[in-house]
A and B are shown apart, each in its own frame.
Chain A
């Protein structure tokens, strides 16, 4: 059962991720990306990371993708016209990707404990509380620095998107 769910959501995630790359229309790509993020959130649930799954849906599938769709709407993008592909770019991309996949396969196959199934953890664990304890006890300073980073990003976005007054 667990393995079946894993495969369903893994294939869902990967198929929609491929859709992001192959669709010609930016809106289709964005919608496909939303579905890919939802599938990834389901994979996080199969890993008992409920808090991360919820944050993934709220922040990525919600806020980030709404921002993407707003920008696509604002720029009024049509479906891209086809341009001649550059063979050198495709060949280079293919070589880089093949090398990367081989490297990943080698690392994973030589990883100790890669074929272990999920170890038992305490049942009925309060996931959100545990993440909160770790966040505020071990990572209090980084948490506050992240807050400052968000403030800086907000101000930066306002400055960047302000129209020059003439």
Chain B
């Protein structure tokens, strides 16, 4: 049987891969996908904790699953707004490469 530590390690690995994508890739869309991976890693650890710590009534902690539901909703809204900003940026600059987007650079 998998233990809580198994799920937490998978969650940590997934978060690290997402972080690596954000740090190393220069395509702004791939950076955005890395952000989604990191959000999902957080969801996995929340659901794992809810399953491994049931309440006194023998039910899993459903409050954590409601929190995951909220995270998914906010992430969907965030993706929509972020992609709209990327499209507006592409219209203005004709690039999705972050090193070409240096207008705010000091």
Residues of A within 8 A of B (CB): 2-3, 6, 10, 13-14, 17-18, 20-21, 26, 29-30, 33, 36-37, 40, 43-44, 46-49, 51-52, 55-56, 59-60, 63-64, 67-68, 71-72, 74-75, 77, 80, 83, 89-90, 92-93, 96-97, 100-101, 104-105, 108-109, 111, 113-122, 125, 130-131, 133-135, 138-139, 142, 146, 149-150, 153-154, 156-157, 160-161
Contacts and interface: CB of A to CB of B under 8 A. Distances in A.
A108 B18 CA distance: 19
B87 interface: yes
Given A26-B30, A97-B23, A118-B1, A135 B66 contact: yes
A121 B3 CA distance: 15
A52 B84 contact: no
27 contacts: A17-B14, A17-B17, A21-B25, A21-B34, A26-B30, A43-B7, A47-B48, A60-B40, A64-B75, A64-B79, A68-B29, A77-B27, A93-B20, A101-B12, A104-B12, A104-B15, A108-B5, A116-B4, A120-B58, A121-B59, A121-B60, A130-B62, A138-B63, A146-B73, A149-B73, A153-B81, A154-B80
Given A59-B76, A121-B54, A160-B84, A100 B19 contact: yes
A43 B14 CA distance: 13
A17 B66 contact: no
Interface of B: 1-10, 12-21, 23-27, 29-30, 32-34, 36-37, 40, 43-44, 47-48, 50-54, 58-60, 62-63, 65-66, 68-70, 72-81, 83-88, 90, 96-97, 99
Contact of A40 (B9, B21, B27, B40): B40
B14 A13 contact: yes
Contacts of A160: 81, 84-85, 87-88
